[in-house]
Homo-oligomer: A and B are copies of this chain.
Amino acid sequence: MTLMATEIAEQPEVLERVLRDVPPQLAPMVARLRATSPRVVLLAARGTSDNAALYAKYLVETVVGLPAGLASPSAMTIYGARPDLRNVLVVAVSQSGGSPDLLEVTQAARASGAVTLAVTNAPRSPLAAAAELHLDVEAGEERAVPATKSYTAQLLALWLLCTAWGKGDLTAAEGLPVAADAMLMRSADPADELAALLAGADRIVVSARGFAYATACEAALKLMETSYVAAHAFSGADLLHGPIAMVAPGEPALAIVPRGAGGAAMLPVLDRLRAAGATLAILGDRGRHAPSWSLSLPPVDEALSPILQILPLQLTALRLALARGTDPDLPRRLSKVTLTR
């Protein structure tokens, strides 16, 4: 049993812990956010945490009602930019809390007047200490290099935070641990089938819109990290603005199509992918298509659905890695904490 397999399987239990241990952290945090009422939210992260930040961006815009953007650390870390950040909330997301660039961004942002929030899986990390506010995602120690349980814990912790901040109903997430357990059980065979479909693939396009775009990015990253496939994630709209040209007949394309507005917006993208002759795999609503692979999604709220969507795709990356004889726990050239500036 690989560490990655163990950590994938732990997720229902992790989500249960998040639901239990994160809400008590939120009251003072939300009080502080309401008191300072930031005008805008900027998110900074790398790797898997960047995909959690992308998810959070949609939450901030739709649930909190504030504009949000993804910031690149390099403006501050490379060029030394020190923009005026009064009335800005800067959120750094990092599993390890050890990335030097995010630490520098957080310190500089705090000095420039921002309210700073670190979202980590490491409450005693430098990043957690540097930020004014800290949200512990409670995933437990993660040992496989490819992040799995820390990602879903980040998503749920960020959902809880944004929902509490936006005065929404936290109980909507109550069923997630059971749903995640069911999704993992139901995904075992389909993940094998999707891995078999991708066995000979050197490249794959992964596409989604809205909340599920984070799933597309994270699924692509997992496939790149563990199976060395050139997995390319595009928002459905961006795909049609150029990259659709490169999709070759027979090339695999994976689309995530949850119930809701984001899924509905994927329908023209599915038509274009089919017209391009792609070998279509659909996670979610297959509509009037007859894809080469499909797996339905449970009928949860679209904003919560990414927490379940990624599960079969983590399993697929794992199975494909094992089929290819690579070590999913320790992909070549990677280590658990990446030090970049």
The residues of A with any CB-CB pair to B shorter than 8 Å are: 39-40, 42, 46-48, 50, 57-58, 61-62, 65-76, 78-88, 101, 146, 202-203, 209-210, 213, 221, 224-226, 228-230, 232, 235-238, 240-248, 261-262, 265, 272, 275-276, 331-334, 338, 340-341
What number of copies of this chain does the assembly contain? Answer: 2
Shortest distance from the beta carbon of A103 to any chain B beta carbon, whole Å = 13
Considering the complex, give the chain B residue whose CB is closest to the CB of A49. Answer: B241
B residues less than 8 Å from A262 (CB atoms): 74, 78-79
Considering the complex, give the chain B residue whose CB is closest to the CB of A88. Answer: B67
Asked if residues A229 and B246 are in contact (CB atoms below 8 Å), the reply is yes
Asked if residues A47 and B88 are in contact (CB atoms below 8 Å), the reply is no
Partner of A331, one of B75, B84, B230, B245: B245
Asked if residues B67 and A237 are in contact (CB atoms below 8 Å), the reply is no
- Assess A70 versus B73: contact at CB under 8 Å? Given A101-B237, A246-B230: no
- Assess A242 versus B334: contact at CB under 8 Å? Given A232-B232, A340-B237: yes
Partner of A50, one of B228, B238, B276, B334: B238
Asked if residues A242 and B48 are in contact (CB atoms below 8 Å), the reply is yes
B residues less than 8 Å from A236 (CB atoms): 340
Asked if residues A333 and B244 are in contact (CB atoms below 8 Å), the reply is yes
B residues less than 8 Å from A244 (CB atoms): 333-334
What are 14 pairs between A and B in contact, CB < 8 Å? A39-B87, A40-B42, A61-B81, A67-B84, A73-B237, A74-B213, A74-B237, A78-B209, A78-B210, A203-B203, A228-B248, A230-B232, A244-B333, A245-B334
Asked if residues A203 and B228 are in contact (CB atoms below 8 Å), the reply is no
Q: How far is the CA of A71 from the CA of B235 in the complex (A)?
A: 13
B residues less than 8 Å from A238 (CB atoms): 46-47, 50
| Interface contacts beyond A225-B246, A244-B334: sample of 9 additional A-B pairs, CB < 8 Å, sorted by A | A46-B238, A62-B81, A67-B71, A69-B69, A202-B203, A224-B245, A226-B245, A237-B340, A241-B338
- Assess A88 versus B40: contact at CB under 8 Å? Given A58-B79, A69-B69: yes
- Assess A245 versus B225: contact at CB under 8 Å? Given A58-B79, A79-B62, A83-B61: yes
Q: How far is the CA of A243 from the CA of B223 in the complex (A)?
A: 9
B residues less than 8 Å from A71 (CB atoms): 67-69
Considering the complex, give the chain B residue whose CB is closest to the CB of A146. Answer: B242
Considering the complex, give the chain B residue whose CB is closest to the CB of A209. Answer: B74
